[in-house]
Amino acid sequence: MQKRFDMLLLSAVVVLMVCSPGVSQTLDELLGRSKKGREEVKGPKITPLGVAEEEEPTIPVGIPVPKVPEEKTAFDKEIDPAEYTIGPGDEFTIYLWGQLDTPQILAVNPEGKLLVPYVGPIAVCGMTLAEAKERIVQRVKERYPNVDVSVELSNLRKFRLFVAGRVGAPGSYTAFATDRAFDVIERAKGLASGASRRNIRIYRRDGEVLTVDLERFLRLGDLKANPYVKMGDVIYIPFRRESVAILGPVNSPGEYEFKPGEGLKELLELAGGLRSDAQLTGVEVIRFEEDGKTRKCITIDLRQILEAKANPGEQFPLQPDD
């Protein structure tokens, strides 16, 4: 009984010490120092589940952050030095052997010049790749006559052009020198409803106008109907307006968009050619007169048209609504 009384008395003393202001302040200071000490201890953080949390990796000072590689240019054929035209942004690698063993990687500036160290600016814009290489080698050897020079096109330029008319998203787009008209139209969300597929125009800065025939390109793989684009081009897609029709023993009969200057032979190619049971003589062409109401029937010998060596457009040229 005496022991129990002594233990209760001791507990009361401990409670009074903890509740007294002076002791409480001392404990708060001790707890604060203890918390601060724990924060200064380095080591992995512990999650509520007791699992060490990994710290985010950091990049040491002085080491550059790695860049995401740019999308590489896709080619449909090798670059032809006699056809490729140089423009701002094209990149050259110039190798010098002899007194100097140094490679130089240089880009054509916005003024169309290549600034070669200790040689000076070399105007190359508008030249073919073959002409530019010859000009660069000539200028470098004038400065360093005892040095062998090699010039290579190492990277292709990007440029801006414009898409207008019946496309999903008209506007300006970035293109490479290896892009064709179809590639840029696809970036513009493709052709809209009612758009022409055969009478698309490319207007160039020098006044040249090209025709894009996507029907011929997609059906026959004719790359000439899908030309390369250039800096500053305006690709215009008009509405589809006039048409012609082909019926009978062909592989793809139906209605096709009319293209000025096209002949019957070219239309037969678009329609997949003749079937094996086709008759080449007695082919009829129904044509409207100028009044748009009167019709006439023209009978032709298809064999003569197919075997003729003249320009296809001159072999029975078509008219709208034939």
9-63 confidence digits (pLDDT tens) = 334 333 333 344 444 444 445 344 444 444 444 444 444 434 444 454 443 444 4
Among 10-14, 102-106, 154-158, 237-241, top mean pLDDT goes to: 237-241
> By mean pLDDT, which of 170-179, 225-234, 306-315 is the weakest?
306-315
What pLDDT is recorded for position 303?
Answer: 82
**What span, in angstroms and rounded, lies between the C-alpha atoms of 270 and 274?**
11
pLDDT tens across 247-288, in order? 989 999 999 999 998 888 899 999 998 888 888 888 888 888
- Tell me whether residue 10 is in a domain: no
Average pLDDT of span 228-236 = 94
Query: What's the one-letter identity of residue 4?
Result: R
Helices (H) and strands (E) in the chain, counts: 7, 16
Q: Domain boundary residue among 198, 217, 237?
A: 237
Q: Domain boundary residue among 213, 237, 261?
A: 237
Measured between alpha carbons, how far is residue 170 from residues 69, 181, 187, 210 in Å? 29, 14, 10, 19
Q: Domain boundary residue among 116, 136, 155?
A: 155
Total number of domains in the chain: 3
Question: What tokens were used for 56?
Answer: 């985010």
Place of tokens 């530019």: 132
What pLDDT is recorded for position 305?
Answer: 80
- Tell me whether residue 26 is in a domain: no
- Tell me whether residue 192 is in a domain: yes
Among 197, 201, 177, 173, smallest CA distance to 187 is for 173
Query: Which residues fall within 8 angstroms of residue 296, CB to CB, at 6 or more apart?
Result: 286, 287, 288, 289
Does residue 208 or residue 35 have the better pLDDT? 208
pLDDT tens across 108-127, in order? 999 999 999 888 999 999 99
Q: Is 75's pLDDT higher than 90?
A: no
Give 177's pLDDT tier (boundaries 50, 70, 90). Answer: confident
- Tell me whether residue 27 is in a domain: no
258/204 same-domain check: no
Place of tokens 């215009």: 236
Instruction: Write down the pTM of the prediction.
Output: 0.69
Q: Is 129's pLDDT higher than 60?
A: yes
Question: What tokens were used for 230?
Answer: 């250039």
- Tell me whether residue 248 is in a domain: yes
- Tell me whether residue 260 is in a domain: yes
- Tell me whether residue 277 is in a domain: yes
Question: What is the span of the domain harbouring residue 101?
Answer: 91-155
